[in-house]
Amino acid sequence: MRVLLTLLLFALLAPAQRVVNARAGMIYYAEGIITVDGQSVRSTGRPPLLQTGQVAASQRGHAEILVGPDVVLWTGTGAEVRFDNTSVAEAHVSLLAGSVMIEIKRATAGNRLQIQVGNRTPEVRQVGIYRFDLAPQRMRAFNGEIVLREQNIKAMRGQEIAEDMLHVFDRRDTDEFFYWTALRSLTLERDSGIARQWKRKGDTDVGHTGFDVTFPRDLAAARIKYLAASASGVVYAVDGEISERLPLRIGQANSVRTHNSKAEIFLGVGIVAYIADNSVIRVEDGRTWTPAIAIEEGKAVIEVAASRESPLLRVRIGETTTHLLTPGVYEVDAQSGTLLIYRGESETQYNGSPFRAREGQRINVKQPTVASSFDRKDQDALFRWAADASFRLYRSQGAFMTAWVPDIIEQKAKHKVFGQRPDYRGRRFP
């Protein structure tokens, strides 16, 4: 689950753009193990330029290939692509395995890009974000237009072509590859003077209508958001011993066990679980728009920040499932089945009926028949550690993951559940 970085940014984009103006197929950036015709590609100081007929494969990781001055193709893990025509005006790429994503940042009159996907050859010309998968075969237009001339089919924003049929797809149906390309798109614009698609949103963010993603302008913070948004179950910090390198992706259906340590796990944008010692948490749904976990042993404090990207979180304890419905702070004990709601609201499915609980209430999720009140000032060691961890996350580039609010006048940061701490920066990002 470690990411092997074998390639870094090869060169400044200015000389690279002069080359790509004439030909398509320059591997500009890569992460992981990348090969061309079976030979490993390593940093040589010059970007590798694919020749007609050569096959580039991203066995483990991703590659970024410049197709034109304002056209970028990214390969997913396990993808293989062949450039059958490296002319910028008539570029033709065959998808031999896996998935690719394409961004056209600015359309050029007369230029067209054809992607061979199985026995179909869709064409893209317009500014937009596109994804092509070989197995199962599908062609998605997150933004823009895909034309399949043989079948006289045209897919526009939010539509996909699968089995020669036009469908509407859920644009939230994304994965790590999607968010990696979004992060690279932002980074590439920062590195170069090419057409700008990322627009300023507020004081600290930028957004892209094609990706429908908002990132912090700070690239280090944007990378944290990429981690949080790409998959539910990313171990971001550990207080104690760990044998793996962080951040660590748990992966769907896998679990993380803490021994003499505590862990901080991203379950989506704005959802963080603070795990106690000697606890076991399993990721039952790794999609960040429908995250679900099972707390099999031990305890966890879960913070849900107010964010348009924070979905409902499903938490299974034993045979029952509890939905955390609103932003807040919740503490769950798997052994006793106790749920403490410091702030927020929950709904537990029990014997086919929903049982709701709200702020300041305690319930037994294994048999939720009655809710009682509890003293929210009576806080255990895990709660206090979670408060400290949340404040550390706020002070890092991951400020958007928590509900801390800066008070510039009083030089403090305030949290409706965790209280307040001195904060002399007066702003979220250092």
Asked whether the domain spanning 232-381 has the same topology as the one spanning 13-176, the reply is yes
How large is the average pLDDT for residues 331-338? 96
Grade residue 10 by pLDDT with cuts at 50, 70 and 90.
very low
Residues 325, 303: Cα–Cα separation, whole Å: 12
Per-residue pLDDT tens for 28-63? 898 988 999 998 886 444 678 999 999 999 988 999
Structural domain spans, the chain = 13-176, 178-224, 232-381
Instruction: Return the percentage of the chain with pLDDT > 90, whole number.
Output: 69
- pLDDT confidence bin for 114, thresholds 50/70/90: very high
Residue 306, pLDDT score: 82
At the topology level, CATH places domain 13-176 in Jelly Rolls (2.60.120)
The CATH number of domain 232-381, selected from 3.40.50.2020, 3.40.50.970, 2.60.120.1440, 3.90.25.10: 2.60.120.1440
Tell me how far apart the alpha carbons of residues 178 and 174 are, in angstroms, rounded to a whole number.
6
Cα gap 49→121, rounded to integer Å: 24
The predicted pLDDT at position 46 comes to 61
Report d(CA 362, CA 347) in Å as an integer: 12
Token pair recorded at residue 390? 């949340």
Compute the distance between CA of residue 220 and CA of residue 196 in angstroms, rounded to an integer. Answer: 20
For the chain, give the percent of residues with pLDDT over 70.
91
Strand partners, 60: 33
- Report residue 21's pLDDT band, with 50, 70 and 90 as the boundaries: low
Residues whose CB falls within 8 Å of the CB of residue 274, separated by 6 or more in sequence, listed in order: 262, 263, 264, 300, 301, 302, 303, 382, 385, 386, 389, 390
pLDDT digits (tens, 9 = 90+) for 164-204: 899 999 998 899 999 999 999 999 998 876 668 999 998 88
